[in-house]
Amino acid sequence: MFARNTARALTAPSARLFSSSSARQTKVTVLGAGGGIGQPLSLLLKLDPLVSNLSLYDIRGAPGVAADVSHVDTHSEVNGYAMENLDAALEGTKVVVIPAGVPRKPGMTRDDLFNTNASIVRDLAAAVGRVAPTAHILVISNPVNSTVPIVAATLEKAGVFDPTRLFGVTTLDVVRASRFLASVSGSTPSECDVPVVGGHSGPTIVPLLSQVAKGKGLQGETYDKLIQRIQFGGDEVVKAKDGAGSATLSMAYAGAKFTNSLLRGLNGEKGVITPTFVKSPLFADKGIDFFSSPVELGVNGVEKIHPIGPLSAEEEKLLEACLPELKKNIEKGKAFVA
């Protein structure tokens, strides 16, 4: 699923993260670059050969992160921008990654973050729409099921929404599914590319283990436990960090990995397919117009939205539980902007 043929040509450990088959280079902006995700994400993007210019913005701390990261001896230029310089950070950018906002504390759901993060994401989206209306926007800030519709509605209001350029980053669910299935099946993550569809929170996360050789035979308690772990893997980290936040390092990895996939697609590489939460026709007849399924990324961003494929009886049940919750989350986001 992540273009392993190209990746094999690179040396470990970066091979699983970055793959570059083309020389074209791009300016990438991180909004929220001073945070727990933003800092390691900025470092990983500095290592991506497809990034020519890295623009780091936060309401606090971005110039310091930029000065630090800029000393890493890769070819890209790095600039840091303080609060009053958002427009300058976005000028001429092709890709905007947004991890700005507050993370969960123990006992919180992602939806509990809505009140704080909805307005942060809306205001940043409005700025992108004004300064860089043709940029591709990658939303990490939670709750993703609502923040992506918020970005869409905000851009729509400004008359610049293009559904081929908006992505909710659900890659961490895919990364977790791959890692956890490898443990359970005694294989390697590279043999366990699990498509994860739906949304990005608890029951809206639907891993399709039946579509992977290593996952297809799992049953009973082993199957149930693995599904539970993939759906609620974020809680493991929140609990272990004990009040100090949620996943930051694995999320930075996942964010850099998805950004690299998009950049490869934008540069003309064929066959770059990965799950991501986009405006989607798959369940539009049920009133659900955003959904994550494997998406082919190309020169315009979203090239092709693939269907979810055949489901096992268990997966049908997971999807049934996902849809009403996802619908509620999407409507909440839309209502916020309306």
Shorter beta-carbon distance to ligand NAI: residue 32 or 49: 32
- Residue 134 CB, shortest distance to ligand NAI, in Å, is 21
Q: Could you tell me which stretch among 66-74, 100-108, 204-212, 222-230 binds ligand NAI (CB under 6 A)?
A: 100-108
Residue 173, H or E segment: helix 171-185
| 101 interacts with ligand NAI by CB under 6 A | yes
The pair of structure tokens assigned to 310 is: 């055949």
- Residue 98 CB, shortest distance to ligand NAI, in Å, is 8
Q: Contact, 256 vs 48, CB < 8 A?
A: yes
- Residue 323 CB, shortest distance to ligand NAI, in Å, is 20
Nearest CA to 115 among 150, 82, 139?
150
Which residues are bridge partners to 56 per DSSP?
A: 30, 80
Q: Which is the catalytic residue, given 71, 75, 200, 306?
A: 200
Q: From its phi and psi, is residue 136 left (phi > 0), alpha (psi between -120 and 50) or beta?
A: beta
Give the footprint of ligand NAI on residues 4-33 (CB under 6 A): 31-32
215 annotated among ligand-binding-site residues: no
Shorter beta-carbon distance to ligand NAI: residue 32 or 198: 32
Give the footprint of ligand NAI on residues 33-92 (CB under 6 A): 34-38, 58-60
Q: Contact, 229 vs 180, CB < 8 A?
A: yes
Q: What is the β-pairing status of strands 301-305 and 26-31?
A: unpaired
Q: Contact, 10 vs 219, CB < 8 A?
A: no
The whole-angstrom separation of Cα 195 and Cα 308 is: 8
34 annotated among ligand-binding-site residues: yes
200 is catalytic: yes
243 annotated among ligand-binding-site residues: no
309 annotated among ligand-binding-site residues: no
Residues lying near ligand NAI in the complex (CB under 6 A) are found at: 31-32, 34-38, 58-60, 99-104, 113, 117, 120, 124, 140-142, 144, 169, 172, 200, 245-248, 251
